[in-house]
């Protein structure tokens, strides 16, 4: 299995809604981007076809909290360390990482919205529609307009 962590991070930097550098401070305001209804419907159909009982978020993604963790939850401005596996809906793994640190504001919208649902030590599965992931653009190992599934363990807030 190839590891596309560098590509994921580079692409995530482009997808982030706010920059993290000396000139653009992070805005801790919650992300409010919503997926189009057609994407939400397709995602719900996928979950139903697989018998997955996930919680719907008003922004258009679904999630399953496997373990809530404990302590304070991260914000979009937090830097976090995670273990994760990213898969396509056919089960193909396109990326994974262990002990990887990111600024949440540098990542795809679905991670910015989903990871703050758990605290350190927590574990979550995110089911993301294309507009909250990589959209219509093909990425290494990810066809455009793909629904993505991420299993994420939040190791810590750095």
Q: Which CATH number belongs to the domain containing residue 13 in this structure?
A: 3.10.50.40
Query: Per the residue annotation, which of 4, 61, 127, 150 is the catalytic one?
Result: 150
Residue 62 lies in a domain: yes
> Is 46 marked active-site?
no
Identify whether 150 is a catalytic site residue. Answer: yes
Q: How far apart are CA 35 and CA 71, in angstroms?
A: 30
Structure-derived torsion over alpha carbons of residues 109, 112, 118, 120, reported in degrees to the nearest 10 = 140
Nearest to 12 by CA among 150, 153, 158: 150
Alpha-carbon distance 44 to 51, whole Å?
Answer: 10
Calpha distance 59→157 (Å, rounded): 24
Helix (H) or strand (E) holding 48: helix 37-50
pLDDT grade, residue 26 (50/70/90)? confident
Residue in 62, 94, 102, 127 annotated catalytic:
94
Active-site annotation holder among 4, 57, 95, 153: 95
Residue-range definition of the domain harbouring residue 57 = 5-18+33-157
Among residues 5, 32, 13, the alpha carbon closest in space to that of 106 is found at 13
Q: What is the pLDDT of residue 8?
A: 44
Domain assignment present for residue 107? The answer is yes
**Would residue 127 show up in a list of annotated catalytic residues for this protein?**
no
Catalytic residue among 62, 63, 134, 142: 134
Give me the mean pLDDT over the 88-111 stretch.
96
Count of the separate structural domains present in the chain: 1
Condensed to tens digits (0 to 9), the pLDDT of residues 101-141 reads 999 999 999 999 999 999 999 999 999 999 999 999 999 99
- Is 28 a member of any domain? no
Active site residue 134: yes
Cα–Cα distance for residue pair 23/111, rounded to 1 Å? 23
Q: Does 6 have pLDDT greater than 70?
A: no
- 86 in a domain, yes or no? yes
Task: Give catalytic status of residue 108 as yes or no.
Answer: yes
Residue 25 within a domain: no
**pTM: predicted TM-score of the whole model, two decimal places:** 0.85
Among candidate residues 4, 61, 84, 127, the one labeled active-site is 84
């Amino acid at each position: 299995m190839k590891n596309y962590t560098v590509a994921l991070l580079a692409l995530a930097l482009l997808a982030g809604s706010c920059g993290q550098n000396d000139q653009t401070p992070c805005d801790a305001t919650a992300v409010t981007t919503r997926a189009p209804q057609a994407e939400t419907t397709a995602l719900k159909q996928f979950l139903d076809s697989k018998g997955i009982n996930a919680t719907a978020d008003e922004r258009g993604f679904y999630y399953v909290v496997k373990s809530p963790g404990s302590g304070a939850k991260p914000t979009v401005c937090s830097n976090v360390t995670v273990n994760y596996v990213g898969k396509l809906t056919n089960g193909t793994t396109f990326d994974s990482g262990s002990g990887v640190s990111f600024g949440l504001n540098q990542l795809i919208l679905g991670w910015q919205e989903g990871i703050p649902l758990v605290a350190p030590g927590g574990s979550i599965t995110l089911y993301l529609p294309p507009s909250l992931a990589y959209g219509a653009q093909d990425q290494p190992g990810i066809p455009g307009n793909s629904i993505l599934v991420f299993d994420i363990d939040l190791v810590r807030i750095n």
